[in-house]
A and B are shown apart, each in its own frame.
Chain A
Amino acid sequence: MTGPVETGPAPKGPMDRADARLRADTGFAGALKGFSDRVKSGDLGMLPVAVGLVVISVVFTSLNPIFLVPNNLVNLLFDCATVGIISLGIVCVLLVGEIDLSVGSISGFASALVGVLWVQQGWPVLLAIAAAVAMGAAVGWVYAQLYNRLGMPSFVSTLAGLLALLGMQLYILGASGSINLPYESALVKFGQILVMPAWLSHALALVPGVVMLIVGQRRRRQRLAANLSAPGLGGLMLKAGLLTLALEVAVGYLNLGRGVPYMFGLFVLLVVLLNYALTRTKWGRSVMAVGGNREAARRAGINVRRIYTSAFMLCASLAALGGTLAAARLASSSQQAGTGDVNLNAIAAAVIGGTSLFGGRGSAWSALLGIIVIQAISSGLTLLNLSSSLRYMITGGVLAIAVIVDSLARRSRISHGRA
């Protein structure tokens, strides 16, 4: 038995900085350099969205100044929440490399179910919502079984589901075709008018920065204690400071209008929860692994079927919840709920936000950023009084661009060895 192969003087610094080929990216300039390297190699992250949002704001504001008026933005956030929650589910299935094309129909059926059970049958509203979400979970379970047991591609099974669920929606709504939800109810108020008091929204806007500082500082200390390199404290404080400033300014601006909708707060909360689950839990790791290389995940001992089942069920449940909130937003359950561009907007938002259609790459934040882009475009086009025919064409074009960016970035990642 020989000792370890000696390779020059023992490394003194942190053990993850021992290799001579590593460039030490320290300080602000280092962070900038690392960022530009990542972008060039196809790891675009949030960049396309940020650029897109700036372009959209400039263009639409110059066409119609109302676009940037606080109350228009507040309305925009109300609209973001419903489809955004559906899009959050899409992120889950895209990450395992599958798709659910029926989220629109699930949301429509859920809204019809809430209307029928709550308004017509007199169920307590929470029970009706729970039933709708349970319906979503059941639909997702069926898709997962079709995929796991019969090997049915998800785009086929969910396409079938799209039609079947739309049929059920029309069936339970019956001849009248639409049910009005009572205006004074908490659900409709939540979907239409309830906003946070100014102090609460300002306090909540502090939270991300503070959490970032505390978590970042704790991680720094742990890493240094374990003899690993850690990012500098200055950069961390700068980032947290900028984030807090941006959020406080945004919240202050919204408070010039009606304020920050509670419904949008719920959406952001769900995004944060899913983000934690995806990045900090074993389940999330498994989701990424299954999306990246299914066979490798199986050989690592992961129960691949269970991961698919959880992704499909989560997606359909979130779609049902989104549909319920959409009904609240419109104060009605109608035959039109969930039809039209809901499906495509939800999928487009996830892709625009940076979740890959090819699986194993993306984040919960993509739903939030993507849906803001989509709704900003749709709101801007509405302000211009464009017909829905043109709106569909333009949204379709934006989706196409997002997919092209995704495909090009993937190609660039492969050629830079980061697939």
Chain B
Amino acid sequence: MADPILSLRGVSKNFGAVAALTDIELDIHPGEVVALVGDNGAGKSTLVKVLAGVHAPSAGVIRFGGRGVTLDTPAAAMKLGIATVYQDLALCENLDVVANLFLGHEISPYALDEVAMEVRAWTLLQELAARIPSVREPIASLSGGQRQTVAIARSLLLDPKIIMLDEPTAALGVAQTAEVLNLIERVRDRGLGVIMISHNMEDVRAVADRIVVLRLGRNNGVFDRSASHHELVAAITGASENAVTRRMERKEVQA
């Protein structure tokens, strides 16, 4: 396999006394979709934020394209080509869709080219099968799924090398979810690395080349998509005896 475009060794992140991430190892290759799964609070979003330059890691080495890098600001991560869709979306509610899409990367900074930006916005949104009536309305007037689509569209704008999607389909309708999964495959085929976080095992299995499990802020196994549901749930919850298996057994008994 080709050299990883992004590789993490021994990355840790502490919030005061809370160790949100401990000794994380992760490799992302070009043209590969890696799903990051784990229970609530496992540290998935924290890992994404470390890679996006939002949080500085407490320890560890991050290498991008073979070189050690410091991701101390979101701008630094973006410049390298790491694009992020955050779980909390991070959009400006007072600005319209076009302004949010191009925020920080406006076309012609001293005399904004609104027409070019609006055309590009419509093109991007159509690719995602977005159902957005008007791109000149403030974000505050959009539904949750529409906002999520805007956030995803924004990550595609800058021709990134790696895209990180933190629960991108959580609020999406059926068609839009399918479109996002298509999109993930499309960008993978273009040679981008993709990190996808999702609690939906069906979506994960549909597109992921590898499934990386986090548990309580630590690596807890790497699986490929043929891994059984049982194996994955066991790795996520940390026991083969857990709430999910107990529930399934109960159902079988009732049946």
Contact = CB atoms under 8 A, between A and B. Distances in A.
B and A form one assembly: yes
Interface of A: 1-2, 4-5, 7, 15-16, 19, 21-22, 219, 222-223, 226-228, 280-283, 285-286, 288-289, 291-293, 295-303, 360-361, 413-414, 416-419
Contact of A299 (B52, B114, B137): B52
B69 interface: no
B103 A295 contact: no
A293 B91 contact: yes
Contacts, number: 126
Contacts of A223: 115
A282 B92 contact: no
Which are the 10 A-B pairs with shortest beta-carbon distances? Answer: A282-B109, A292-B94, A301-B75, A300-B104, A19-B133, A301-B104, A296-B90, A300-B103, A292-B92, A360-B94
Contact of B127 (A4, A21, A227, A301): A4
A298 B135 CA distance: 22
B165 to A, nearest CB: 14
Nearest to A41: B141
A419 B95 contact: no
Contacts of A293: 90-94
A19 B112 contact: no
B118 A16 contact: yes
B27 interface: no
11 contacts: A1-B182, A1-B189, A5-B179, A16-B118, A16-B136, A280-B112, A292-B94, A296-B92, A299-B74, A300-B105, A419-B140
Contact of B186 (A1, A15, A22): A1
Given A19-B131, A282-B110, A291-B94, A418 B118 contact: no
Given A5-B179, A300-B103, A417-B140, A289 B112 contact: no
B169 interface: no
B112 A16 contact: no
A231 to B, nearest CB: 12
B103 A297 contact: yes
Contacts of A291: 94
B40 interface: no
Nearest to B158: A301
Given A22-B133, A297-B104, A360-B94, 6 more contacts: A16-B135, A219-B114, A281-B110, A296-B103, A299-B90, A302-B104
- With most chain B CB atoms within 10 A of its CB, the pick from A2, A222, A300 is A300
A301 B74 contact: yes
A114 to B, nearest CB: 32
Interface residues of B, number: 49
Nearest to A20: B133
Contact of B111 (A228, A280, A296, A414): A280
Contacts of A361: 94
Interface in B218-251: none
B133 A298 contact: no
A330 B114 CA distance: 45
B21 interface: no
A5 B129 CA distance: 7
B17 to A, nearest CB: 22
Given A413-B140, A418-B138, A299 B115 contact: no
B134 interface: yes
A360 B100 CA distance: 13
B78 interface: yes
B112 A226 contact: no
A219 B115 contact: yes
Contact of A292 (B95, B104, B114, B132): B95
Given A5-B175, A285-B103, A228 B92 contact: no
Contacts of B73: 298, 301
Nearest to B131: A19
Nearest to A276: B111
Given A4-B127, A5-B175, A21-B133, A15 B140 contact: no
Nearest to A284: B112
